[in-house]
């Protein structure tokens, strides 16, 4: 069943139909959120919030548009909220990761917010760059489609994409050289 | 190669994204040398967290329903919210009015002389004198003017 038909049924009062939408996009939402936040627990919280927020804003959704892109916008904005909220905690964790001789200790403040994914290169990129690259490389989005998610122009997306791809290339080449030199 | 360097320089110094996009579409995306400086999709995927690394996402439905019901209870009586704000507004108005009422300067109530102050007689040199009583704004202060009676008055 198409997304627009599911949404129409939800708007008619059938909340159970929304579950089908959630099932359909649950995995993709988690993958996107994890790549932006680099943390599974936060990604789950953010995905749940995004689904709830999307449900409440369904009456404003344009049925002719892509629900997936629209939902990604909601999810991305929630990710940014989460990052802002935990900025101080993340700064501390980044510093902690950089100090190899620091003794490990239990993080009592927020034990769920760890960085289980050691994709060091991801942290070189901003959340916007991570989103742009993820949608381009993993989802095969065009500049116009990414622009609809980021709520900007396709030309802006092309510039973001160019800069982030150049950054990734430079970092990968730097890592390659470092590995060759031992 | 000089063209690539020139484009790279212009790209760096031009602040407007539209100009940068123009350079991308006109040269960079068509130049193998410039494209060689950009990571392709495969290289980008190596730095992203793959779907296989992410455990199956939990079922969000139970949490969704629970929060939806909580939200419904909070939004149950929208008119009640309006009433609550009304009560708050009335409370603020009453508080402000009471403050202003207390701060206003009220004219002192003139006490009756007979209630606060009595002069039974005034004598000067053993003889009755005329007395004039002047009341000030300070309710606790009076001026008493006494003068001898003139002969024959």
Per-residue pLDDT of chain B (153 residues; tens, 9 = 90+): 778 888 888 787 777 788 888 878 888 888 888 888 899 999 998 888 877 777 776 788 888 888 877 765 555 555 666 778 888 899 999 999 988 888 776 555 555 544 566 777 888 888 888 888 887 777 778 788 888 877 554
Q: Which of B21, B149, B60 is nearest to A75 (CA)?
A: B60
The whole-angstrom separation of Cα B153 and Cα B151 is: 6
A36, A78 contact by CB (below 8 A):
no
Residue carrying structure tokens 């392709």: B40
Classify B129 as helix, strand or coil: strand
- Rg of chain B over all Cα atoms, to the nearest angstrom: 47
Give B 33-72 residues with CB within 8 A of chain A.
Answer: 37-41, 43-49, 51, 53-61, 63-65, 67-68, 71
The encoded tokens of residue B29 equal 């995306």
Contacts B34 to A, Cβ<8 Å: none
Q: Which of A34, A56, A57 is nearest to A47 (CA)?
A: A34
Q: Does B26 touch chain A (CB under 8 A)?
A: no
Does the complex come out with an ipTM higher than 0.85? no
Contacts B17 to A, Cβ<8 Å: 153, 155-156, 159
A143, B73 contact by CB (below 8 A):
no
Residue carrying structure tokens 């900025």: A87
Span A64-112, pLDDT tens digits: 889 999 999 999 999 999 988 877 776 776 676 654 444 343 333 333 4
Report residue A114: phi and psi, to 5°.
-110, 180
Instruction: For the beta carbon of residue A10, count every other beta carbon within 10 angstroms.
Output: 20
The whole-angstrom separation of Cα A56 and Cα B70 is: 13
| Strand-pair category, B123-124 with B127-135 | antiparallel
Sheet holding B127-135, edge to edge: B123-124, B127-135, B142-148
Q: Does B28 touch chain A (CB under 8 A)?
A: yes
| Strand-pair category, B127-135 with B142-148 | antiparallel
């Amino acid at each position: 069943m198409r997304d627009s038909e599911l949404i129409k049924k939800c708007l008619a009062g059938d909340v159970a139909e929304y579950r089908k939408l959630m099932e359909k996009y649950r995995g993709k939402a988690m993958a996107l959120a994890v790549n932006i936040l680099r943390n599974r627990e936060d990604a789950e919280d953010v995905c749940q919030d995004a689904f709830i927020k999307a449900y409440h804003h369904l009456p404003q959704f344009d049925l002719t548009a892509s629900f997936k892109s629209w939902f990604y916008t909601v999810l991305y904005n929630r990710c940014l909220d989460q990052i802002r909220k935990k900025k101080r905690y993340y700064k501390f964790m980044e510093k902690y990761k950089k100090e190899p001789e620091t003794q490990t200790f239990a993080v009592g403040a927020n034990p769920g917010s760890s960085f289980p994914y050691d994709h060091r290169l991801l942290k070189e990129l901003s959340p916007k760059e991570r989103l742009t690259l993820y949608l381009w490389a993993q989802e095969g989005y065009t500049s116009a489609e990414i622009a609809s998610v980021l709520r900007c122009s396709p030309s802006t997306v092309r510039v973001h994409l160019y800069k982030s791809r150049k950054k990734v290339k430079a970092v990968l080449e730097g890592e390659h050289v470092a590995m060759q030199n031992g | 190669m000089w063209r690539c360097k020139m484009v790279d320089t212009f790209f760096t110094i031009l602040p407007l994204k539209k100009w940068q996009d123009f350079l991308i579409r006109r040269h960079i995306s068509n130049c193998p040398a410039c494209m060689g400086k950009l990571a392709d999709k495969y290289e980008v995927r190596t730095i992203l967290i793959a779907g296989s690394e992410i455990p199956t996402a939990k079922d969000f439905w139970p949490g969704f329903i629970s929060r939806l019901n909580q939200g419904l209870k909070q939004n149950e009586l929208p008119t009640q919210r309006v009433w609550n704000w009304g009560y708050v507004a009335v409370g603020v108005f009453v508080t402000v009015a009471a403050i202003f009422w207390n701060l206003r300067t009220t004219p002192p109530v003139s006490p009756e002389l007979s209630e606060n102050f009595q002069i039974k007689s005034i004598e000067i040199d053993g003889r009755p004198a005329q007395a004039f009583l002047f009341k000030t704004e300070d309710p606790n202060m009076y001026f008493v003017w006494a003068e001898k009676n003139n002969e024959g008055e």
